[in-house]
Structure 1
Amino acid sequence: MFEKLAAHFDEAKQLLLRGVIRLAPAQEYGVVTPLAQVVSPSMPVFIVGDDSYQAYAPIAESPPPALRFGSSDSICLQQFTEQTSLALEELAPALASSSVAMESIIAHALYHQQECHSLTEAANRALLSMISGIPDDTRQQLNANQGYVLPILMAASSWRLHQGPGDIEAVGGNGHEFGIRLRGSSRWLTCQADPPVGPRFSGKHNEPVLGAIGDSAVIDFCGLGGQSLDASPELVMLWKSQLPTNWRNRRNALVDASTGVVSARRIADTGLMPLVHLAMVGAGPEAGILGRGFYQPDPGLFTALKHQQTRG
């Protein structure tokens, strides 16, 4: 509908079901996209990287209802179109004259006890403080949208996984399967994508939750998110009754100190699964966000990897 290939939701759905429009894994094209959001050919994107490699992420929408939460509310398209216009007309010229260093944004967020995935207000504030030349009303609007920085953090994490010396190059889910792609491989290793667990929003207790979806797991596999949970006591309190008892062990056990990213070999050796912080997206026809929680991949994904390493 954004590309004007369909006039309404049902027509768009049929184009997908008939295969007229095909979906492909975003990370195969150097793109990372949050939850259920799709990146189409003419959408503007943020670029994060260096002279040797760039990663791309779409413009974040407004808070719910939003496309990334699987909502088909007609206001989503309007809001997303407005956000893309704002980004092209006001942010693009400002960023063209002065790029933003992501490391300082991440450091600022961690210092303010936010792990850069479920909690992004501090990172969003830091991002906007580094962009000059945008109108005050635009700055206020983007400050109010705490998740605006999230796709940018995802692109930075994807760049790190791609460029770093770690053994995992890509990671994400599509609601049905969750997978990793090892460095130097074109094949995804996958397992069933179980739903994230966590407290539900009021009135959302009986609705089904979609399996782990989106590319934001790149953040957690870069040592942030679920592997920096001890930096965010607010989330620990929120999830304390549902977190695994050994959640504190994840960072020391799974993050390679020399690379700063999660190691597939360490997962296979320890049997500990990384924690991936994810919004809980509804699996029903109305979709939308039901809560926020965390996901742990099926251990079988990494057990098979350990067997491969042993045979190799």
Structure 2
Amino acid sequence: MIQERIQEANKSTLERILDAQPTLVGIGVAEEVIPGMTKKTILHAGPPITWDKMSGPLKGAVIGGLIYEGLAANEQEAVALAESGEIAFDPCHHHDAVGPMAGVVTASMPVWIVKNMAYGNQAYCTLNEGLGKVLRYGAYSEEVISRLKWIETVLAPVLKEALILCGPIDLKNMIAQVISMGDEGHNRNKAGTSLFIRELAPHIIYTKFDNKDKADVLKFMHSNDHFFLNLTMPACKATLEAAKGIPYSTIVYTMARNGTEFGIRVSGLGDRWFTAPAEIIDGLYFPGYSSADANPDIGDSAITETCGIGGFCMGAAPAIVQFVGGTPEDAIRYSKTMYEITEGENNSYKIPVLNFRGSATGIDIQKVIELDILPIINTGIAHKDPGVGQVGAGLVNPPRKCFEDALEAFVGDLEEKGLL
């Protein structure tokens, strides 16, 4: 009887995921739109963590965030403030937000606002900084801060006005298109960024800003193939947040990493985190770097795999293996294997090479443990020291212990209720 309840709960959870309608509705300032945000709040990727346990990239991003906000003038002041206890560190996920890599969000940062039109909840994410030395990899030099200020004062205002002229953008439909065009929504976003530029470019032209600002905005987006990642992430977050809190559900609605620990959350277990040490990524390294330079797995971008895209859709993006390692056959195999640990298939995100089969969706902790198959994640590799940046990309699995502990807690709850 209890298994019937679990099956029904998982079916309901999957329905909420499939019924979601993530839609881009605007751009706001973090302090003004993100619930619980204050001047001295710093949000970060992954499960909860304290300053003393943060990895190099996350500490570097915190330092940069404090300098950007004017709360510190330099690295020394920022470290002292971070150690003082005055700063409230909290996961992005606790505030309906997500952030790539270090995932640091501070009060003045502009953020995308994505609304799940089916259930009314919203999700938030910063705008992608571009390539090179960037805050998300722990860099905090003058050029990093200057770029963040340009994003705040030029990029975001131009895009905000263009969105007002354009109207809401259906991200679910756009993600479905890009998967059929060779993206997987996590590490390959060439098609997504291109479609997004195509959607907004005519409206950018009609904004009140001068031609140089408009041209700079278009050039900035064009120069960064990962610009669309910061839209797929909140789209997936808005989708999955509506699927949490369903009693008896064993479906995962969060996978996230802070550079020290990997954490998951399960629909039927509410807000509880189940964590274990984050793994080192197996991948391809840029010239001059090796696994000795790598930081453990970091970032909220695994929300894409949690939602059934990213690594789960590698079969749709065979070119991704040139970046993360392996062969096109491997990419197809990864996508096929994920069907074994999921509740169902996505009715929008379809993989052409698999005869347009819907992507594997709804990770079930029971199946993960029973079959001993872990979710596959493709991701960037951050250098272990702050400020160095990306040193490669590859594939990684969550620690099995996260799923073991979650299933044990789930069974414990059933025993407490007298259902076992």
Tell whether the structures are fold-level matches, with TM greater than 0.5.
yes
1:148-173, Cα deviation, whole Å (9 max, x unpaired): 11111100000111123772232211
SS in 1 for 2:150: helix
Q: 1:201 to 1:53 in 2, by over 3 A?
A: same
Q: Give the counterpart of 2:303 among 196, 207, 218.
A: 218
CA contact (8 A) 1:197 1:280 kept: no
Q: 2-side partners of 1:99 and 1:217: how far apart?
A: 25
Tell me by how many angstroms 1:304 deviates: 2.8
Q: 2-side partners of 1:181 and 1:160: how far apart?
A: 15
1:76-99, Cα deviation, whole Å (9 max, x unpaired): 111111122223321101212311
Q: 2-side partners of 1:114 and 1:126: how far apart?
A: 11
1:110-148, Cα deviation, whole Å (9 max, x unpaired): 112111111011111111212231146122321211111
Is 2:261 the counterpart of 1:177? yes
Tell me by how many angstroms 1:103 deviates: 1.6
> What amino acid maps onto 1:279 in structure 2?
G
1:197-229, Cα deviation, whole Å (9 max, x unpaired): 200001122652111111111001111111111
Which position in structure 2 is the counterpart of 1:7? 73
Is 2:126 the counterpart of 1:58? yes
Q: Give the counterpart of 1:306 among 383, 387, 407.
A: 407
Question: Which entry has the higher C-alpha Rg, 1 or 2?
Answer: 2
Q: Whose RCO is larger (CA < 8 A, sep 6+)?
A: 2
Q: 2-side partners of 1:87 and 1:265: how far apart?
A: 45
Q: How many residues align?
A: 311
SS in 1 for 2:284: coil
Which position in structure 1 is the counterpart of 2:204? 134
Q: 1:66 to 1:286 in 2, by over 3 A?
A: closer
Q: 1:14 to 1:286 in 2, by over 3 A?
A: same
Q: 1-side partners of 2:340 and 2:332: how far apart?
A: 14
Q: 1-side partners of 2:148 and 2:130: how far apart?
A: 7
Q: 2-side partners of 1:196 and 1:206: how far apart?
A: 8
Q: 1:228 to 1:266 in 2, by over 3 A?
A: same
1:162-198, Cα deviation, whole Å (9 max, x unpaired): 1237722322111111111122512101111112220
Q: Give the counterpart of 2:241 among 162, 173, 183.
A: 162
Gaps of 5+ in 1: none
> What amino acid maps onto 1:59 in structure 2?
L
CA contact (8 A) 2:314 2:332 kept: no
Q: 2-side partners of 1:94 and 1:244: how far apart?
A: 37
Q: 2-side partners of 1:258 and 1:37: how far apart?
A: 29
Q: 2-side partners of 1:39 and 1:105: how far apart?
A: 25
Q: 1:5 to 1:308 in 2, by over 3 A?
A: closer
Q: 2-side partners of 1:287 and 1:19: how far apart?
A: 27
Q: 2-side partners of 1:213 and 1:82: how far apart?
A: 26
Q: 2-side partners of 1:191 and 1:306: how far apart?
A: 14
Is 2:145 the counterpart of 1:77? yes
* Percentage of pairs with the same residue: 24
Which position in structure 1 is the counterpart of 2:342? 255
Q: 2-side partners of 1:163 and 1:19: how far apart?
A: 33
Tell me by how many angstroms 1:310 deviates: 4.4
Is 2:314 the counterpart of 1:229? yes
CA contact (8 A) 2:312 2:338 kept: yes
Relative to total residues, which structure has the larger helix share, 1 or 2? 2
Which position in structure 1 is the counterpart of 2:272? 187
Q: 2-side partners of 1:244 and 1:64: how far apart?
A: 27
TM-score normalised per structure 2:
0.69
> What amino acid maps onto 2:223 in structure 1?
A
> What amino acid maps onto 1:50 in structure 2?
N
Tell me by how many angstroms 1:301 deviates: 1.6
Tell me by how many angstroms 1:107 deviates: 1.8
CA contact (8 A) 2:97 2:234 kept: yes
Which position in structure 2 is the counterpart of 1:268? 369
